[in-house]
């Protein structure tokens, strides 16, 4: 049995637009502007924001790449790219805001030419700031930052406007590299000008974790070790590595998903109420959770690697059969871990995290399992123990929130059933979830760092993982077991034992 909890007033898009802060006139510079990320995410997002009248009244998008192009051929290229992305009607005036600068990102002369072009556009269009988007390989970040500094693009004096930079993950490959990268960034830019983007934080349902917890009074009294038995966080993908072999084999599931996405979700669920809904108080509260997590250890970690499987007459190759992957690779594509938050609120409450590729379903869900009633007056009348209440936050797909509880089954004297009350985003509001990048890019334009990752969070997240990364890379004491889709596996042998030994089981989907 399921029903929608609320029927909210559905705001129209013009009304939604009025609730947003309009950015001041500025330029967005996309370095690596002809790459996959730019075409697949950035240009459709910018077209959407332009259509919704959310971008500045005057703005320019300066696209940088090593291509033989000019403004006209660039606009034609982006127009074709948007059409392939399913945008049938390009918003009027959008393509005219796009400008091209050819250049090698390691060439000092290029940055002088870029500076000249930006100064011309700033004067002609009366722009107040410049936002640099690093849509490049992370290995180029230090080079770009140093060249920007040499050209004076990293300070207000150089452009007579404010500069900000957006940096895509990964933010290092371990604790040592993260500290080194942050040190280099801070030698050129102050932290308040750096926007480390994790698209998960831009998802509506992830943002709703804070709203659910801190805009409703009835959750907070039960959001602690006295009432919560355990928490499960699942981020599962049904696809494999999809041609990302060389990159993925250097990272694996712990670096690719745990260090950022899963620890971000855990910190949002477990954090104390921040003093204000602002970037630094929220970041402080999240980082305090990471600092309360003891170092992960091998006994509480299960690793796996997907094997080949024959599904519906089609063979899906195993990880070691993928292009660019060694036949003896130990890189995990699945991980499950038990973590604890050793503070006053959560002491003794386990957080079980799992994530993997080539799993039966694509799903991201946070499940808060509450404790059983301390004494059941119905125990003599029931064959089974009463089910514990569960609050589930579905982040993707079928975004929503559900609560399970016990109720009397109609008819017989005493017969209890577990029912679920369900809130579905699409059914309630009647509109699809906007692309996560839309929220994040708009926030970067207006200078709101609330949904971006601060440097100390990055380092603390790597600190949590450091012991198991070292154990896996050096002593190889953590086995990487195979798993496949043939039996509908949700991970390798041993993953269930992680909870069974605590008297619990994984949720089923």
**Extents of the domains making up the chain:** 13-168, 202-434+454-500
Strand 129-134 relative to strand 416-424: parallel, antiparallel, unpaired? unpaired
Question: Per-residue b/e over 265-299, b at no fewer than 16 CB within 10 Å?
Answer: bbbbbbbeebeeeebeebbbbbbbbbebbeebeee
The confidence score (pLDDT) of residue 2 equals 40
- Checking if the pLDDT of 14 tops 50, the result is no
pLDDT band at 137 (very low <50, low <70, confident <90, very high): confident
Phi-psi region of 467 (alpha: psi -120 to 50; beta: other; left: phi over 0): alpha
- Checking if the pLDDT of 6 tops 90, the result is no
Q: What is the 3-state secondary structure (H, E, C) of 63-129?
A: EEECCCCCHHHHHHHHHHHHHHCCCCCCCCCCHHHEEEEECCCCCHHHHHHHHHHHHHHHHHHCCCE
The percent of residues above 90 in pLDDT, for the chain, comes to 50
Structure tokens at 302: 């299960």
- Checking if the pLDDT of 288 tops 70, the result is yes
Reduced to 3 states (helix: H, G, I; strand: E, B; else coil), residue 196 is strand
Residues with catalytic annotation?
Answer: 261
**pLDDT tens-digit series, residues 184-194:** 999 999 999 99
Strand 228-236 relative to strand 350-356: parallel, antiparallel, unpaired? parallel
Q: Which of 8-12, 278-282, 328-332, 497-501 has the lowest mean pLDDT?
A: 8-12
Q: What is the mean pLDDT of the chain?
A: 86
pLDDT band at 61 (very low <50, low <70, confident <90, very high): very high
pLDDT band at 378 (very low <50, low <70, confident <90, very high): low
The confidence score (pLDDT) of residue 386 equals 72
Q: Structure pTM?
A: 0.89
DSSP structure string for 437-502? HHHHHHHHHHT--TTSB-HHHHHHHHHHHHHHHHIIIII--S-EEEE-TTTT-SSSTTTTHHHHTT
CATH 3.40.50.720 is right for the domain spanning 13-168? yes
Comparing C-alpha atoms, which of 240, 157, 508, 235 is closest to residue 396? 235
CATH topology of domain 202-434+454-500: Dihydrodipicolinate Reductase; domain 2 (3.30.360)
Q: Evaluate the CA torsion angle 70, 71, 74, 79 in order and state its sign.
A: negative
pLDDT band at 8 (very low <50, low <70, confident <90, very high): very low
- Would 13-168 and 202-434+454-500 be classified into the same CATH topology? no
Q: Which of 5-14, 96-105, 250-259 has the lowest mean pLDDT?
A: 5-14
- Checking if the pLDDT of 381 tops 80, the result is no
Where would I find the beta strands (DSSP E) of 285-326? 301-306, 309-311, 314-316
């Amino acid at each position: 049995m399921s029903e929608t909890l609320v029927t909210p007033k559905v705001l129209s898009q013009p009304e939604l637009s009025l609730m947003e802060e309009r950015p001041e006139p500025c330029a967005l510079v996309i370095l690596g502007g002809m790459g996959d990320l730019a075409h697949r995410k950035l240009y459709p997002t910018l077209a959407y924001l332009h259509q919704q009248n959310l971008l500045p009244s005057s703005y320019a998008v300066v696209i940088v790449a090593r291509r033989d192009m000019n403004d006209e051929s660039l606009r034609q290229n982006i127009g074709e790219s948007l059409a392939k992305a399913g945008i049938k009607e390009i918003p009027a005036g959008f393509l005219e805001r796009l400008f091209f600068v050819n250049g090698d990102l390691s060439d000092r002369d290029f940055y002088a030419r870029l500076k000249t072009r930006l100064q011309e556009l700033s004067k002609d269009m009366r722009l107040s700031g410049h936002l640099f988007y690093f849509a490049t390989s992370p290995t180029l970040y230090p080079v770009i930052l140093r060249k920007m500094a040499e050209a004076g693009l990293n300070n207000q004096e150089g452009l007579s406007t404010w500069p900000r930079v957006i940096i895509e993950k990964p933010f290092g490959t371990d604790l040592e590299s993260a500290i080194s990268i942050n040190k280099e960034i801070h030698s050129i830019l102050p932290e308040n000008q750096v926007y480390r983007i994790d698209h998960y934080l831009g998802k509506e349902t992830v943002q709703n974790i804070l709203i659910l917890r801190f805009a409703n009074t009835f959750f907070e009294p039960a959001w602690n070790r006295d009432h919560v038995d355990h928490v499960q966080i699942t981020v599962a993908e049904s696809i494999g590595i999809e041609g990302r072999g060389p990159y993925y084999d250097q990272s694996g599931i712990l670096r690719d998903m745990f260090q950022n996405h899963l620890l971000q979700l855990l910190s949002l669920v477990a954090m104390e109420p921040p003093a204000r809904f602002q970037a630094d108080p929220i970041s402080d509260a999240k980082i305090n959770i990471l600092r309360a997590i003891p170092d992960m250890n091998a006994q509480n970690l299960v690793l796996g690697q997907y094997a080949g499987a024959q599904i519906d007459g089609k063979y899906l190759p195993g990880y070691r059969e993928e292009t660019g992957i060694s036949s003896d690779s130990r890189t995990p594509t699945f991980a499950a871990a038990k973590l604890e938050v050793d503070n006053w609120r959560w002491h003794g409450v386990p957080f079980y995290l799992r994530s993997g590729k080539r799993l039966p379903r694509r799903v991201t869900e946070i499940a808060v399992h509450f404790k059983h009633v301390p004494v059941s007056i119905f125990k003599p009348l029931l064959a089974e123990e009463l089910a514990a209440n569960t609050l589930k936050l579905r982040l993707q797909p079928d975004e929503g929130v559900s609560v399970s509880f016990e109720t009397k089954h109609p008819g017989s004297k005493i017969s209890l059933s577990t029912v679920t009350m369900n809130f579905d985003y699409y059914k309630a509001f009647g509109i699809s979830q906007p692309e996560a990048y839309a929220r994040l890019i708009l926030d970067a334009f207006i200078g709101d760092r609330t949904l971006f990752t601060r440097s100390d969070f990055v380092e603390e997240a790597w600190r949590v993982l450091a012991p198991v990364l070292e154990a896996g890379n050096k002593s190889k004491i953590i086995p990487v077991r195979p798993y496949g889709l043939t039996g509908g596996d949700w991970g390798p042998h041993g993953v269930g034992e992680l909870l069974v030994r605590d008297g619990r089981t994984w949720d089923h989907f």
